[in-house]
């Protein structure tokens, strides 16, 4: 299934939608389409109902957390520098850091049972990770997305507008965190670790130092 063809077909049939092809450089080459969230419903409806596409089965919905990243790049800049013959222009390397703001991403995998083709991968991104976490729910197009969108709401904190029953799925209702976000800090219950290593070891030592400094200092002194 050539994604370029699908992309042109969608652009021809859904006026105003902005699509972006996200290439996958790995050998699997599973490229994906990035949708803008305003037209997501129209695009999804087209993918499901177009006679030659008929993506009637949403097999998987998942989320990705992209925390803010810093990109450093070297740029050549012309600057006036004091030389022996007065000021002159020179190319100077300058390191620029740009911060890419974080966002949450939702990924849909679609197949067509009728046409026996697929998968096609759709992505949607939220504006940021704090307030602009709203996306349109695709549950009205593919009913099977209901539980998975609830799971993403629970674990990543993406709010799906138009979802029929948006509640937490795995954690309890009063839980405030989103455990699959990369900045999630899990509760400090590392009292006992039979074979600690790496990060778990650090957490266990830190916990023991705080809760039982005498015993831990004895153990470390030995």
Partner 1 sequence: MDEKLKADLSKQGIFTTSLQELYNWGRTSSIWPLNFGLACCAIEMIATTMARYDLARFGAEVFRPSPRQADLMIVAGTVTKKMAPQVVRLYNQMPEPKYVISMGACAISGGPFKQGYNVLKGIDRYIPVDVYIPGCPPRPEALIDAFMELQKKIDAQQLTGENRPRHLNADHPSEFVVPQFGEHDLEPARNPAIWKPPLVQIAQTGSDESGNC
Instruction: Compare residues 56 and 177 and give the one whose CB is closer to partner 1.
Output: 177
Instruction: Compare residues 98 and 195 and give the one whose CB is closer to partner 1.
Output: 195
Tokens of 168: 């937490």
Q: Which residues neighbour 89 within 8 Å (Cβ) at sequence distance 6 or greater?
A: 78, 79, 80, 81
Distance CA(153)–CA(106), nearest Å, equals 10
- H-type alpha helices, the chain: 3-13, 40-49, 145-155, 198-211, 213-221
CB of 186 to partner 1, least distance (A): 5
**Residue 175 interacts with partner 1 (CB under 8 A): yes or no:** yes
Residue 94, φ and ψ in degrees, nearest 5: -130, 135
**Residue 208 interacts with partner 1 (CB under 8 A): yes or no:** yes
Instruction: Compare residues 91 and 198 and give the one whose CB is closer to partner 1.
Output: 198
**Residue 78 interacts with partner 1 (CB under 8 A): yes or no:** no
**Residue 195 interacts with partner 1 (CB under 8 A): yes or no:** yes
Taking CB under 8 A as the criterion, the residue among 68, 77, 184, 213 binding partner 1 is 184
Instruction: Compare residues 74 and 197 and give the one whose CB is closer to partner 1.
Output: 197
The beta strands (E) that lie in 115-195 are given as: 117-125, 134-136, 159-161
Distance CA(128)–CA(137), nearest Å, equals 17
**Residue 147 interacts with partner 1 (CB under 8 A): yes or no:** no
Taking CB under 8 A as the criterion, the residue among 100, 200, 210, 213 binding partner 1 is 200
Instruction: Compare residues 1 and 201 and give the one whose CB is closer to partner 1.
Output: 201
Taking CB under 8 A as the criterion, the residue among 171, 183, 210, 214 binding partner 1 is 171
By CB under 8 A, the count of residues binding partner 1 is: 31
Distance CA(8)–CA(6), nearest Å, equals 6
Contact 104, 126 (CB under 8 A): yes
| Contact footprint for partner 1 (CB under 8 A) | 170-177, 179, 184, 186-187, 189, 191-197, 200-201, 204-205, 208, 215-216, 219-222
């Amino acid at each position: 299934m050539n994604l370029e063809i699908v992309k042109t077909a969608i652009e021809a049939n859904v006026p105003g939608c902005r699509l972006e092809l996200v290439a996958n450089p790995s050998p699997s080459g599973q490229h994906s389409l990035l949708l803008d969230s305003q037209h997501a419903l129209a695009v999804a409806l087209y993918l499901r109902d177009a006679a030659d596409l008929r993506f009637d089965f949403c097999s998987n919905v998942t989320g990705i957390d992209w925390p803010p990243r810093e990109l450093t790049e070297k740029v050549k800049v012309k600057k006036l520098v004091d030389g022996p013959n007065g000021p002159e222009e020179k190319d100077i390397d300058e390191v620029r850091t740009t911060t890419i703001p974080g966002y949450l991403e939702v990924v849909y995998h679609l197949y067509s049972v009728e046409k026996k083709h697929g998968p096609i991968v759709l992505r949607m991104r939220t504006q940021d990770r704090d307030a602009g976490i709203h996306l349109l729910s695709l549950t009205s197009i593919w009913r099977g997305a209901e539980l998975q969108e609830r799971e993403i709401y629970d674990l990543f904190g993406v709010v799906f507008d138009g979802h029929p029953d948006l509640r937490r799925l795995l954690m309890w209702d009063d839980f405030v965190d989103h455990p699959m976000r990369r900045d999630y800090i899990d509760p400090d219950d590392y009292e006992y670790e039979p074979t600690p290593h790496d990060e778990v070891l650090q957490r266990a030592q830190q916990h023991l130092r705080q809760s039982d400094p005498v015993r831990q200092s004895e153990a470390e002194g030995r």
